[in-house]
Amino acid sequence: MTRFAFALVAISFSSSAYAQSVTLPAEIKGAPGTWIIVTPDAVDGGAVKWRIDPLLQEVRLDRLFPGMEPKGKVVTGPAGTYKVEAWNAKGDVASDIATVLIKIGDVAPIVPPPPKDPKEPLPPPVTSSLYFLIVRPDGPASPAFSKIMADAAWSDVTKAGHVFKDKTQSAASVVLGVTLPAGTVLPVVVPLQVAADGKSSTQVGDPVPLPTTSEGIRKLIPSK
């Protein structure tokens, strides 16, 4: 059996190690257009969930080899550095998110930016308005979620000069770069503050459970 064939077989089996965790290698290197195998070094807990950089293409081994139940992933893509994440859960408690860097081709090392000139002008001040990002589970919204999002109290949020928007967990992570702590029960509200130029935002508070009443929605509005 060749080394590559052995690696393909290896990703079909999970391994166990320590309590409630998924362990990935720090980085994996490969050539553009080739198959790159990503398999956990150790798994303890339930089935592993994966989040693959959208610029990578996943090779579905279960379709190429019917009946195969791979426990890892095979990806391919152009030159660059990408991120693949994995996690699982035991009972109702999720593990930490494990991350592996996929380096394809000759990737230049990341050079840290030079220290800022103390005479450099300060960044623009942030506005006083908040962007309430409501993160809900992936998939269709539940009736209860749709009902509270249709509550008339949200108009008080906009009248106070703030903005609110709901996103699925995947969209919040990929599009907006918001990563919730492991074990967070959705839906939640994440308060963000938008810069004056409207091109960046900063999280200014911990995620809080989505209110279930009109009064709870109004309490999101900070007092002046």
**Do the domain assignments include residue 223?**
no
- 87 & 27 share domain: yes
Q: What is the pLDDT at residue 53?
A: 93
Residues 6 or more apart whose Cβ sits within 8 Å of residue 76: 30, 33, 34, 35, 36, 56, 57, 59
Instruction: Quote the pLDDT of residue 16.
Output: 39
Give a yes or no: residue 135 inside a domain.
yes
**73 belongs to a structural domain:** yes
Whether residues 139 and 67 share a domain: the answer is no
Tell whether the model's pLDDT for residue 4 goes beyond 60. no
Any idea what the CATH number is for the domain that residue 148 is in? 3.40.30
40 vs 28: CA distance, rounded Å: 12
State yes or no: pLDDT of 74 exceeds 50.
yes
Q: Do residues 86 and 133 both lie within one domain?
A: no
Q: Helices H, strands E: what count in the chain?
A: 6, 16
Q: What is the pLDDT of residues 26-50, one digit of tens each?
A: 999 999 989 999 999 999 888 899 9
Q: Which of 163-172, 177-186, 191-200 has the highest mean pLDDT?
A: 163-172
- What is the total count of domains within the chain? 2
**Domain CATH for 22:** 2.60.40.10
Q: Which residue has the tokens 């004056």?
A: 196
One domain, residues 71 and 136? no
What is the structure's pLDDT at 46?
86
Q: What domain range is 10 assigned to?
A: 3-104
